[in-house]
Amino acid sequence: MKQKLLSLVALCFLVVSVAWSQMTLPPSGNNQKSEVTQYMGLSKVTIVYSSPDVAGREIWGKLVPYGMTNLGGFRSSDTNPSPWRAGANENTTITFTTDVEVEGKPLKAGTYGLHMAPGTDEWIIIFSSNAGAWGSFFYIPSEDVLRINVKPAASEFTEWLTYDFSDRQQNSTTARLKWEKIAVPFKISVPNGDDLYVKKIREELSGPKGFNWLNVVAATNFFAGKKLNLDEALAWDQSLIDRNIRYFPIYNSKANVLAAQGKQAEADAVMKEAINLPDATPGQISNYGRTLITQKRPKDAMVVFETNLKRNPGNANALTGMARGYSANGDNKKALKFMQDAFKAETNPQVKTAIDVMVKKLEKGEAIN
């Protein structure tokens, strides 16, 4: 009989538990759950929180006490005071998909409970290994993974507690808690962000994407711009050329890598080949000439523009290039003649309008580069 009674109690408890687990109700206190995500290149940070409103209340030092406080139950006590849950209801959490630095201090990839101890002049932000607790009632310092100190800042009024991200860069961002008239920023950075791209690009080029030479060129140009992984980038471009895949963008990419290595003479030699390739378009050659102008090499640019016109007589791009070349070399009179010829040769109305603007500048004796 006793065994049957115990079984009946267990069954009733199970039924109640199942029934409770199936209920879907609005969040406690109508503090809506929110989530915000920001990428830093290939790294991602996500903050999940519940968002209370001000509702006319005094927040700092009143509703949210300064420092650590006894919340009156569970693990929170006078001897083990708790920080603020940095939101409402269950734990505010922050997730990093890669290792990061927070305010210059290292933090491993993972999900952390996010807590804060507010102050009038300085706040403590705590990243706890316990990401599944209800608020800060179960907080214990031994679960701290990282603590940082930051300065709060005055902000425009925010009714609903909000997290956002500012100063969004490839390898860093600044997360902010904003509520009432206070913002609390903390900088997050990815110390190996470029290395993540090197690894990802290697993986992609070893698969189907590696069979498309345009993907190789995109990768090597990225490395050239970053001055990163240059030897491998040069080998990738050279591999295409050695396999008789010879197009202007490949040579241009190879030249960019060589220039990034400080081998300008070799880069120039590659581009001399590039502008004489069968596929080199008037626009591509002209753009290379303009690049030389920006590098303060107007005489070298002029040689490129002359080659372009010889290959493409009467072409509007080539004629425009000649005008730019003469203007860069201080001869606006000759530049005007070629720009007028370019205006006659151009058929695209929008480009024609742009050429007309340059014609008018040259008529006033103004340079166009």
Residues 6+ apart with CB under 8 A from 335: 322, 323, 324, 325, 326, 327, 362, 368
String of DSSP letters for 40-109:
ETTEEEEEEEEE-B-TT--TBTTTB-SS-B--SBTTB-SSS-B-B-SSSSS--EEEESS-EEETTEEE-S
Q: Does the pLDDT of residue 141 top 50, yes or no?
A: yes
**For the residues 306-331, what does the mean pLDDT come to?**
97
Query: Where are the extended beta strands (E) located within 85-234?
Result: 93-96, 100-102, 105-107, 110-117, 123-128, 144-150, 153-166, 172-189
The token pair that represents 76 in the structure block: 């929170």
Residue pair 309/319 in contact (Cβ under 8 Å)? The answer is yes
**For the residues 266-277, what does the mean pLDDT come to?**
98
Provide, rounded to the nearest whole percent, the portion of the chain with pLDDT above 90.
Answer: 84
The token pair that represents 273 in the structure block: 């080949």
Question: What pLDDT, in 10s, does the model give residues 41-71?
Answer: 999 999 999 999 999 999 999 999 999 888 8
Report the distance separating Cα 86 and Cα 49, nearest Å: 8
Report the distance separating Cα 304 and Cα 311, nearest Å: 11
Q: What is the reported pLDDT for 133? A: 87
Q: What is the reported pLDDT for 27? A: 67
**For the residues 33-46, what does the mean pLDDT come to?**
97
Q: Does the pLDDT of residue 181 top 60, yes or no?
A: yes
Q: Of the candidates 310, 273, 303, 270, which has an alpha carbon nearest to the alpha carbon of residue 289?
A: 303
CATH architecture of 299-369: Alpha Horseshoe (1.25)
Question: What pLDDT, in 10s, does the model give residues 87-140?
Answer: 998 899 999 999 999 999 999 999 999 999 999 999 999 999 999 988 888 889
Q: Where are the domains of the chain?
A: 25-189, 193-280, 299-369
SS3 243: coil
Report the distance separating Cα 227 and Cα 225, nearest Å: 6
| DSSP secondary structure code for residue 124 in this structure | E
Mean pLDDT across the chain = 91
Dihedral sign, CA of 84, 88, 89, 94?
negative
The token pair that represents 235 in the structure block: 């080998």
The token pair that represents 190 in the structure block: 């990815």
Q: What is the reported pLDDT for 25? A: 64
SS3 333: helix
Q: Does the pLDDT of residue 196 top 50, yes or no?
A: yes
Over its C-alpha atoms, the chain yields an Rg (Å, rounded) of 32
Q: What is the reported pLDDT for 3? A: 41
Residue pair 257/230 in contact (Cβ under 8 Å)? The answer is yes
Q: What is the reported pLDDT for 28? A: 66
Return the H-helix or E-strand segment holding 266. Answer: helix 264-274
**For the residues 182-198, what does the mean pLDDT come to?**
96
Instruction: Tell me the pTM.
Output: 0.80
Question: What pLDDT, in 10s, does the model give residues 213-257?
Answer: 999 999 999 999 999 999 999 999 999 999 999 999 999 999 999
Question: What pLDDT, in 10s, does the model give residues 14-27?
Answer: 334 444 445 666 66
